[in-house]
Amino acid sequence: MTAVVISGTGLYQPPHTITNAELVESFNAYVDHYNTEHASEIEAGTLTALAPSSVEFIEKASGIKQRYVMEKSGILDPKRMYPRLQSRTDDELSMLAEIGVEAAKKALAAAGKTGADVDGVICACSNLQRAYPAIAIEIQNAIGAKGYAFDMNVACSAATFGLEQAVNAVKSGSAKCVLVVNPEITSGHQEWKDRDCHFIFGDVATATVIERADTATSADQWDVLGSQLATQFSNNIRNNFGYLNRSEDSDPKARDKTFRQEGRKVFKEVVPIASAHIESQLQTLSVQPSDVRRFWLHQANLSMNQLIVKKLIGGEVTPEVAPLILDEYANTSSAGSIIAFHLHHGDMRPGELGVICSFGAGYSVGSVVVRKR
């Protein structure tokens, strides 16, 4: 079987940041206006007053301190509370493809490749800008790649699910070099008016080059020892936005058309699912959790990540063991574990092991075990 390596990663960071303080100021202005506008209903008990947010609440609940976004004025406008993006013509590169291409260029440069070396492109993310043509094909065309391209969506686990498809394609010989791109404009599906989740997401794009070991030339290579995927249906994380909404005559701005979750249930159920999943895969590779130098986990919640790793290693969970990028980037859906890997692997020595793991809506969980060459 063909040996497969990760030979390069890339990260695109949007131009704007929103701090927790900025977000709270905007949100609380919206809350004040709402409560004033509906004062009579609130006093009569027919409507519940909205509660304000705070920086302390956000950081305690998540560990997030800021997030990057493609556009911030619309998000921080209490009368709007979602991005103010400009439409593009069919002849222009779409926004999702644009940030995907930027991350792809950086990953290819790190791998010492050009678009012409790529014969497979997978766009794996939580929310696709359109139904067709595939964003992946648009990225393929923009970078001058050959072969095939397709989109896939497994929410926050899309990156690891995409990596397995790429690895299998290279192992089987259907491709020699596959680019997995994770463009996430999560600000578009975030519900900025909901106190329980208005702080969760940020925008970003990542890309990873997967190729045959015998063609890799970069100085930074990682053997892919194995990957494992699993799904288990749950309604606890959901977004009902889709092309059938119009035919249902439903409100396109209704609460169910944006991200929503039962946060406590998700925490309680996903932690054991993710830790058991990683432990199971390591067992199949005859690897003990204590043998793993680093866990690059999906960045959804600080406490969740720490508890997952604690269940595995039984000891203190430090940034050395499980790096945190959540504080700066917030939850970037599929891109989170790849950002953690991209930013926090340079100090690892040849032979050391790491696990890239994502988990989220579905439920879905995917893990990829790698070894530094």
Residues with catalytic roles: 156
Whether the CB-CB separation of 175 and 210 falls below 8 Å is answered with no
284: its two tokens: 């199949």
CA proximity to 230, closest of 274, 189, 272: 274
CA distance 168 to 264: 35
Whether the CB-CB separation of 8 and 113 falls below 8 Å is answered with yes
Whether the CB-CB separation of 219 and 110 falls below 8 Å is answered with no
Whether the CB-CB separation of 297 and 159 falls below 8 Å is answered with no
CA distance 117 to 110: 13
Q: Which amino acid is at 169?
A: A
**Cis peptide bond N-terminal to 363, omega within 30:** yes
Q: Is the dihedral of CA 215, 221, 224, 230 positive or negative?
A: negative
On the CB side of 106, how many CA atoms lie within 13 Å of its CA? 16
CA distances from 353 to 49, 114, 303, 345, 368 (A): 51, 28, 23, 10, 11
Dihedrals φ, ψ of 85, to 5°? -100, 150
CA distances from 222 to 118, 288, 341 (A): 18, 19, 11
